[in-house]
Structure 1
Amino acid sequence: MPGKSAPSLQPTITAHAPCRADLAGGTIDLWPLYLFHPGALTLNFAVEILTSCRVTPLKGQRIELCSIDTHCEETFTNLDELIASRSHRHVLAAYLVRFFAPERGLRVETDSQSPAGAGISGSSALMIATTAALARFTGRDLDPETMRVIAQNVEAQVIRVPTGCQDYYPALYGGVSAIHLAPDGIRRAAVPVAPEEIELRFVLAYTGAPRQSGINNWEVFKAHMNGDKHVFRNLEKIAAIARDMHQALLRHDWQDVARLLREEWKLRRTNAPGITTPLIDKLISVSRKNGGRAAKVCGAGGGGCVLMMVEEGAKEAVAQAVAQAGGHILPLRVARDGLRVETQA
């Protein structure tokens, strides 16, 4: 049973953060890969598929962790017991509570509209929402970049492989983003593209195949660091495609965006085994026959979501055909805003 809340002692904090769809330059955002590809950048846009975290004060030292979307819950008598535990049902919340080390009891409730393993950075968006909620609850005033660093590092602890940086910026800022990756730091810049232009031209389909982004990315990471020339050349070309696509977006040259999206996927699918699947290939083929111009898997691949760029006016036809072929169409609306944090007395 949940502990009794004590609203008179401290307010409840609620945070929301959106997921994302990536356009180009993924995997290169893993440190230190981008250091070997000068001018590297990643392009993505936030989608109105939200994650949320609510932190409620409890009497005493009791800690409750609840994931609404995965139907799991666990309770600890205090922070020491949480830290001493060798396993957790709600690992993400447990690791962040451990990091922020609250001095009093609390209940952390998380939720996500993203399907399991969708490849649209639901876990990273939830990391941002939970980081922001716990930071405010514990009285820490964090700027967005510090929030990103904490979320990224703690998520690496959770999944036990390197994490890229790109997923956290859409959650923080919303809109369309170019994340510039350089030796002197990471810089996010808004790409001035009207959200309606994106919404008109893209379809997002879930393949229903859960994936583990860390595994595919880890295989590519190891191959790159071990001197695999094929992977190095592919990522070098992917970095160049991302730079060219950035310029195409600035010019509003959608024909060039489509061409580059096709080139990016052609290269990415050969980086490691399992990045594509028979269903992904089938859905991309069906899309192409019904007005699709280009497509790529979201995230690291192996299942999850496929992002499809379509001819103007063909969105409905592509969505229907892909759904009939076994894809689950997700609503694609660009999130105009990023992280939102509210305090309720």
Structure 2
Amino acid sequence: MIVRSKAPLRLGLAGGGSDVSPYSDIYSGLILNAIINLYTYCTIEETVDGMITIDSNDSHCYKSYPMVEQLDIDGEASLIKGVYNRVIRDFDVKPRSFKITTYNDAPAGSGLGTSSAMVVCILKAFIEWLGLPLGDYETSRLAYEIERKDLNLSGGKQDQYAAAFGGFNYMEFLQNDLVIVNPLKIKRWIVDELEASMVLYFTGVSRSSAAIIDQQKKNTFSGNEKAIEAMHRIKKSAIDMKFALLKGDMQEFARILGQGWEDKKKMADAITNPMIQDVFNTAMSAGALAGKVSGAGGGGFVMLMVEPTRKKEVINALNKLDGSVMPFQFTEGGAHGWKIYPTDKVK
């Protein structure tokens, strides 16, 4: 039997960073995000060679291990090993012989929540294969614990929930890692107008978000008033943008996006750099209204709001730089898995 799964990547529209502890523990956080038609993928194939074979395309790891209850976390294919170890431990599953293959539509460090979406994707494959009793909230919470606590990888909480739930979501992050996901029903014409008004540009530079996130944590712990006040405004922007989105007010949406970027740059020095500023200068000169870097910053994807009639001008200008424009659409479905049976067993 073969099991496959896929989980979508997300655009963080507003409130980014307010889902990161300790800020969310002290002040609570608010996030507005939406998933797009870029995905992470996982395949589990049952084998009979008595080995656990890992083929992680994104980390360029291809290795086989004996059927043990816990795989060593040694820096190679950590996300796969982290999920495997937790599933075996939490659900009293006996080790089995299998091959697992993963890959991604976007590079790691792109700011689209790739690592967290991959953890959800891998976990969803195990859920489908083993029949584990986990809904969207349980899957998201377990993925968060694997990534942030078991593997000690820096980051927030929104990405796991976005990948599991799908669609447009307004999320609340409270004390004790409590998360409330509020799905938003956006009219089709508003989604179409938002797609027509947005350009997604990959800078060509992947970056580690850990240093930026750690700086944000330090600012909160140390009581850095400038940074904390900026984060308060970023959190409020999630409320304001939600109303703009529900009304289809793209001018207000763009204004909030731009203000959010100005506040975000106050959170850590490495959030922007001359390369990113060059992207903004080029886009604005060609007619873009506003923009922000997706994710922690420092590189990855930049999302820009434009007047739809000038979208092609902005794209043509950006194409002269070293990165690339990424076509995309917003989509609804969250992570899911399915089984493939040998044809001789299909009835």
Q: Secondary structure at the match of 1:294?
A: strand
TM-score (norm. length: structure 1): 0.91
From 203, 208, 226, the equivalent of 2:222 is 226
Report % sequence identity: 27
Q: Whole-Å Cα distance in 1 between the matches of residues 216 and 22 of structure 2?
A: 13
Q: Which residue does 2:112 correspond to in 1?
A: 120
1:198-213 residue pairs with structure 2 within 5 A? 198-213=194-209
> Deviation of residue 161 (structure 1)?
4.1
Amino acid corresponding to residue 298 of structure 1 in structure 2: S
Q: Secondary structure at the match of 1:114?
A: coil
Amino acid corresponding to residue 50 of structure 1 in structure 2: Y
The answer to whether the 8 A contact 2:14-2:32 is kept is: yes
Q: Which residue does 2:19 correspond to in 1?
A: 29
From 72, 76, 83, the equivalent of 2:65 is 76
User: Structure 1, residues 326-345: CA drift from partner, whole Å, max 9, x if none?
Assistant: 22111221122221211111
Q: Which residue does 2:83 correspond to in 1?
A: 96
Q: Whole-Å Cα distance in 1 between the matches of residues 80 and 301 of structure 2?
A: 25
- Of stretches 45-54 and 243-252 in structure 1, the one that deviates more from structure 2 is 243-252
> Deviation of residue 60 (structure 1)?
5.3
TM-aligned CA distance change 1:126 to 1:344, over 3 Å = same
Q: Secondary structure at the match of 2:144?
A: helix
Q: Secondary structure at the match of 1:74?
A: strand
1:110-149 residue pairs with structure 2 within 5 A? 110-149=102-141
- Of stretches 87-96 and 174-183 in structure 1, the one that deviates more from structure 2 is 174-183
Q: Whole-Å Cα distance in 2 between the matches of residues 47 and 28 of structure 1?
A: 21
Q: Which residue does 2:345 correspond to in 1?
A: none
Q: Whole-Å Cα distance in 2 between the matches of residues 218 and 88 of structure 1?
A: 20
From 182, 190, 193, the equivalent of 1:189 is 182
> Deviation of residue 139 (structure 1)?
2.8
Q: Whole-Å Cα distance in 2 between the matches of residues 293 and 86 of structure 1?
A: 45
Q: Whole-Å Cα distance in 1 between the matches of residues 73 and 246 of structure 2?
A: 49
1:173-188 residue pairs with structure 2 within 5 A? 173-183=165-175, 185-188=178-181
2:48 equivalent to 1:59? yes
Q: Whole-Å Cα distance in 2 between the matches of residues 111 and 161 of structure 1?
A: 19
Amino acid corresponding to residue 20 of structure 1 in structure 2: R
Unaligned runs of 5+ in 2: 342-347
Q: Secondary structure at the match of 2:309?
A: coil
Q: Whole-Å Cα distance in 2 between the matches of residues 124 and 167 of structure 1?
A: 6
> Deviation of residue 308 (structure 1)?
0.6
> Deviation of residue 278 (structure 1)?
1.1
1:258-297 residue pairs with structure 2 within 5 A? 258-297=254-293
2:322 equivalent to 1:337? no
The answer to whether the 8 A contact 1:61-1:79 is kept is: no
> Deviation of residue 265 (structure 1)?
0.4
From 10, 15, 19, the equivalent of 2:9 is 19
The answer to whether the 8 A contact 1:92-1:158 is kept is: no
Cα RMSD after superposing both structures = 1.8
Q: Whole-Å Cα distance in 2 between the matches of residues 13 and 233 of structure 1?
A: 47
Aligned positions, number: 332
Unaligned runs of 5+ in 1: 1-10
Amino acid corresponding to residue 34 of structure 1 in structure 2: S
Q: Which residue does 1:318 correspond to in 2?
A: 314
TM-aligned CA distance change 1:145 to 1:190, over 3 Å = same
TM-aligned CA distance change 1:162 to 1:69, over 3 Å = closer
Q: Whole-Å Cα distance in 2 between the matches of residues 219 and 17 of structure 1?
A: 29
The answer to whether the 8 A contact 2:22-2:217 is kept is: no
TM-score (norm. length: structure 2): 0.90
User: Structure 1, residues 200-221: CA drift from partner, whole Å, max 9, x if none?
Assistant: 1111111111211222111101
User: Structure 1, residues 273-301: CA drift from partner, whole Å, max 9, x if none?
Assistant: 11012111111111111121110001001
Amino acid corresponding to residue 181 of structure 2 in structure 1: R
Q: Secondary structure at the match of 1:221?
A: helix
TM-aligned CA distance change 1:211 to 1:158, over 3 Å = farther
TM-aligned CA distance change 1:159 to 1:282, over 3 Å = farther
